[in-house]
Structure 1
Amino acid sequence: MANEEITKHGVLVADHSPHMAALVGVMLRSLGRKDIREAYDASRTLTELNRRAFDVLIINDALDSMDGVALTRKLRASLDCQNRHIPIIMMSAAPDAKRIADARDAGVTEFLRKPFAASHLQTRLTSIENNPRGFIEAGQYKGPDRRRRVIDVGDERRERDTESKAG
């Protein structure tokens, strides 16, 4: 790959359908992304993730040989992979609430229901860029902090709680 262009906004698209991967690639290019790689199965996805750094992984839930949730768990647990902390956007055609929760619990950062428009993809990418979440390793969970917002309870509340316990 002598002409390979590697930029700071590299995206890996993993989908078992080359047509869907290409469609997502077209959407990404329309949003200004230039460095886009495609993988069509779990093995190739893991090879690409171990080959070079990416900024985002966009993965289909239904990859061949290993589904997206299992691949996410494997990536998050892989201590020697440079993309272990990468934000992951999972795509799925018909997810139910349990599947979305499983994806979140595996370490998926954002979720997209198919079909989606480029604007939906842009919303997820903007969210990842503007609201980065720390990486958590606690017990069985390894992935982005699942809390989407931090609520400041303030010093006044803490003082009231301390006073009520003392009095």
Structure 2
Amino acid sequence: MTDDRVLNSSDLKKMKVLIVDPNSFMRGVVADSLRRLMVTHIMAAASAVEAFNVGRMFKPDIIFVDWDAGRMSGLEFTREVRRNTTGISRETPIILLAGVIDHDQLMSARQSGINEFLLKPVSAQGVLSRIEEVVMRPRKFIDSRNYVGPCRRRKDDPNYAGPWRRLTDEPPAKANNEMAKENAFKLRQIIEGLTQYADRTNVDRQAGIRGMYRMLQQNAEEVGRLGDDIIVRVWNTALRYIEGVGMTDTYDVEVVKYHFQTIAIILDMPEEAFLHRTSVANELERLVNKKIHSAHEKKHDVA
């Protein structure tokens, strides 16, 4: 029998959440997802050290921390919290954000005292599922000589078909892609080329942006033939972003790279993750609309 309890909006409004991520764009993505869930008490920190200072006063109910939290990793941050040396309650649920996670990393995360993990790209649906897991179905807190953190044992739920497996599960094997392996391989090569152009914008902005835009246009038809509507939507959103703000002061290379990272991850998502894939595409479209609108407003203000 599964536990289907969910949080209501009043519970979420009272919740205090701390985000720890050195990437300002990713902090914004997570915060935006939380605000969509009606969470209003949100604080963010660019490093673990800053998070300790903020956390002592803020006293978060939940912490989202990136695997790479600056000079101190997300796992080291978690160990410090569990040791009760930071001023943050050692029992505070901690959710680890990561782009990918392999078996060894999963074992390390379990040992550090992480409650849950959430793979990027982040969506409001994914954030909510992890919050509900730590709030509605908390695991017993263990304080022993060799380990401090949530119990690492949990009864397996054979009916679970969420977008990502939980921390206590083994990491997924190869995902069942809807497209042929050769097409997925070809798309990964294209994404690699686009990412190189994105990195080039830090040195030669105009050349990098033009190269990205040209490559996105040239391969749009090829991507359409792959037959994955979600990837097509993300692809088109990247095009719209570059068209809308590419040559303005509001252009952010991290937004573009996040699109490319999202496509690469979607390729590995299992078939049952359809709702999560759709949610990610919806939120990227909303984010880009917001960025383009902001760029246009800034342009009119200058004029």
Contact 2:139 2:151 in 1 (8 A): yes
Q: Please, which of 96, 120, 126 is the counterpart of residue 120 of structure 1? A: 126
Relative to the length of structure 1, the TM-score reads 0.81
1:20 maps to 2:26: yes
Structure whose residues are more often strand by fraction: 1
Contact 2:14 2:39 in 1 (8 A): no
Contact 1:21 1:38 in 2 (8 A): yes
Larger displacement relative to structure 2 (134-143 or 9-18)? 134-143
Deviations 1:90-140 (A, max 9, x none): 001122111122111100000011113211111111111211122101122
Query: Cα offset for 1:79?
Result: 5.2
SS in 2 for 1:21: helix
Structure whose residues are more often helix by fraction: 2
Percent sequence identity is 30
Q: Please, which of 46, 57, 60 is the counterpart of residue 52 of structure 2? A: 46
Contact 1:13 1:58 in 2 (8 A): yes
Query: Cα offset for 1:72?
Result: 0.5
Per the alignment, residue 41 of structure 2 pairs with 35
**Cα distance in 1 between the residues matched to 2:96 and 2:152:** 15
Relative to the length of structure 2, the TM-score reads 0.45
Gaps of 5+ in 2: 1-12, 157-303
Per the alignment, residue 63 of structure 1 pairs with 69
Structure 2 counterparts to residues 137-156 of structure 1, below 5 A: 137-149=143-155
Query: Cα offset for 1:80?
Result: 6.6
Q: Please, which of 72, 79, 82 is the counterpart of residue 78 of structure 2? A: 72
Contact 1:18 1:40 in 2 (8 A): yes
**Cα distance in 1 between the residues matched to 2:104 and 2:122:** 20
**Cα distance in 1 between the residues matched to 2:118 and 2:86:** 28
Q: Please, which of 120, 138, 141 is the counterpart of residue 135 of structure 1? A: 141
Displaced runs of 4 or more, over 3 A: none
- Higher relative contact order structure (alpha carbons within 8 Å, sequence separation ≥ 6): 1
Gaps of 5+ in 1: 1-6, 151-167
SS in 2 for 1:95: coil
SS in 1 for 2:138: coil
**Cα distance in 2 between the residues matched to 1:124 and 1:146:** 16
Per the alignment, residue 164 of structure 1 pairs with none
Per the alignment, residue 91 of structure 1 pairs with 97
Residues matched between the structures, number? 144
Q: Please, which of 13, 16, 24 is the counterpart of residue 10 of structure 1? A: 16
Deviations 1:12-44 (A, max 9, x none): 000010110011000001011000000001110
Q: 1:79 to 1:71 in 2, by over 3 A?
A: closer
Per the alignment, residue 103 of structure 1 pairs with 109
